[in-house]
Amino acid sequence: MSENCYHCGDDVIGKGYLIEDKKFCCNGCMMVYQLLSENNMGAYYTLEKKPGVKPSNSNESKYTFLEVESIQEKFIDFREGNTSKITFFLPEIHCSSCIYLLENISKIEPNILNCQVNFTKREAKIAYNSTKIKLSEVALLLDKIGYAPNFGNKQETEKKMDKQFLYKLGIAGFAFGSIMLWSFPEYLGIEDMNQKMRNFTSYLSFIVSLPVLLYSANTYFISAYKAIKYRNLNLDVPITIGIIALYTQSTYTIFTGDGPGYMDSFATFIFWLLIGKWFQNKTYKTLSFERDYKSYFPVAITKISDHKETIVEIEEIKQYDSILIRNEEVIPCDCELISDEAKIDYSFVTGESIPILKKKGDFIYAGGKLLGQRSQFKVLKESNRSHLTQLWNDVTKEDKEANQRTVQDKISVYFLVIILIISAASGISWAFIDSSKITQIVVSILIVACPCALAISAPFTYGNITRVLGSKGLYIKNAKVIERINEISDIVFDKTGTLTTGILDGIEFIGDELTAKEKAMIISVAHSSTHPLSRGIVQFLKKNITNELPEVTKFEEISGKGIEAICDAKNVKIGSKKMIAPLSIQEELYETSVYISIDGEIKGKYIFHSELRPGIEKMVQNLNKYQLHILSGDNKKDEALLKIFFPKNTTYLFNQSPKDKLQFIEELKQKQHKVMMIGDGLNDAGALGKSDVGIAVSEDIFRFTPSSDAIIEASKLYILPQLIGISNFSKIVLRICLFFSISYNIIGLSIAISGQMSPLVAAILMPISSISVVAISTFTVLIKGKKI
């Protein structure tokens, strides 16, 4: 009796290779085992039994073509300093052990910084130290451990897979139609009129059914085999048992001369299974995260044309256009720096937050965040909205992403075991009643019982909720955010830029009269910031300035305090009283004010008369089931105004630094509160990241805030209760889908067990149940969305 390879599971031919009482089919598998053991990665073999892929007989020069600079540029996603990033297509990814091995590959090769695996796409995003390891060596390492990269053939591979699927569907359809036609006399009850013709059509049906069994249905056999091999169960296991039972019974009937058996049902069954799979795949692609987010992800950019600034949608930016980026804004596309110099933070791309100084003419990758004064860039590649979306989605918070299994997941785990037990019990019972019906009943049970409707209800519901929320102005990162929104108990609001707006008519200046040159300097410095108060000052002054703005250097924005910069050889400070005039005799009353200092001389202050955003009063009334809190870096001047609208038990905290806000969120969470934080994203990044759900408010300029879980358009803040209501509606939809799925299975199983359902009817009902869940989820969510 042959033994199996400990690494890949293939048969060991002859003596094989032996190490530590473990046998391997080839030297390659043994070397991979040794490599993993030496690097303390034995857990790879505990996740799955024999999980490995047999490595190819690679030679050292296989990937030397990747050392050619022009070829590298086609595949490299990012390169800066020592860090490079590339996305590999690895077709051999097939199980959880693959994910474990690849995401821990840095233990084998320390010069690989990190690896993120996308299982559904079979892709691995790898960041590596390009000064210590070559791209060709990274590819060769992947090849050696059994995951040979596929360069440039992904689309072709996917096209071939699509073609193969259509071929399978076509063959099953041809067999289904032909066998049904040949079995027509059986349906009319005239099968005994011509025994020879009956036998001939039966044999013909058998011959036509062979390609259906061996080709059209082979994916179910392979999937079931792998599931059993790795001691797991999936939906394909009972389907495969049903296929084998139905085909075996039919083959026996044909060769004993009793007729065509169930070959018509068999072919029809496979045909409908493939139709159902085609429909499910198409729908999943439609609800793909990247495809959806491309259509509504809120990315706007400031375009410069004829010395005029215009805020435009990112799709309107073309190659060689000039764009303006401010402090803390993310560069949305590959660009060339036009300004003399700029500091770029690539932490969203690499995870490293060390600023990099770039000079005029340097190439800047999309995803870099500008630090310092505003800068101009020339667009080299038109922006990719899905790339920015992916950057946002890659910023993970482990404390939020705990793996909590849903009710649907838990039910699905036991569903298949229960179905197998029911089918076995029914077969045994019918052996004493009518043994001729055993095959029909067992197959019908295995086919009609379908956890698909249950399994797909959550992703389809959350996908539709995400789509509707996006169309209403709330853009969420992923489905897990919806689950966390549904658990919220407390909502924390930032005040300035969130509940209030710094509108033009609400600003006045108190102090020395400013010259046109001083106003130009203030505009130039403030224009580098995206803070609402800075933008308010720019709007207030800009209408009276026609001269060209002076150059800004040595710009620094201190979170929660203000801005300091050198402009026209003068030191300009714009910020809070604490930063600019801490020893001033004049006491600051309850007001929102921004002080101005030029070369150490206090010029005066801009006073902002707060005005609540439209609809805030009604919004607060509709949030009465939540505990509300207001945190503000400002003073108490608006407390009386806020108390008119907010409930009596609302918490008010003023003069809060970014650190204070973060600490407040932590204290709430320590008390087991589920917290939603809503802020402008500038001074609230820490609090947004720490809260269970962090929502950044976006004005007409889009600020990319990776620490947030969602972005809401400022003009839509007033409908926040309705948007939360749409999210909460997902629980109702899931309950409806759960009820439908359970009812369908109970009714279907009852009919099948009673012997009143044929495998053909079961095969038709199974995809219809999934389609019904998709329809329920889609239409109920869309109807709910239209009510807002």
pLDDT digits (tens, 9 = 90+) for 181-233: 776 666 555 555 566 777 787 888 888 889 988 888 887 787 677 666 655 55
User: Helix, strand or coil for residue 745?
Assistant: helix
Assessment of whether the complete model's pTM goes beyond 0.85:
no
Query: What tens digit of pLDDT does each residue of 235-275 get?
Result: 667 677 777 877 887 788 788 876 666 777 778 778 877 87
Q: Is 569 a residue whose pLDDT tops 70?
A: yes
Residues facing 630 on adjacent strands? 493, 652
- More reliable by pLDDT, 81 or 425: 425
- More reliable by pLDDT, 483 or 367: 483
| φ/ψ of residue 113, rounded to 5 | -75, -45
CA quadruple 717, 721, 722, 725: dihedral sign: positive
Residue 228 burial class via C-beta count within 10 angstroms: exposed 0-12, middle 13-18, buried 19 and up: middle
Pairwise CA distance, residues 251 & 176, whole Å: 16
Pairwise CA distance, residues 369 & 347, whole Å: 8
Q: Is 526 a residue whose pLDDT tops 80?
A: yes
Tally of CB atoms within 10 A around 673: 17
Pairwise CA distance, residues 450 & 441, whole Å: 15
Asked which of 365-374, 488-497, 645-654, 655-664 is least confident by mean pLDDT, the reply is 365-374
Do residues 135 and 72 touch, judged by C-beta distance below 8 A? yes
Residue 270, C-beta contacts closer than 8 angstroms, at least 6 positions apart:
172, 175, 176, 212, 216, 217, 243
Q: Is 663 a residue whose pLDDT tops 80?
A: yes
| φ/ψ of residue 336, rounded to 5 | -115, 135
Quickly state the pLDDT bin for 83 (edges 50, 70, 90).
confident
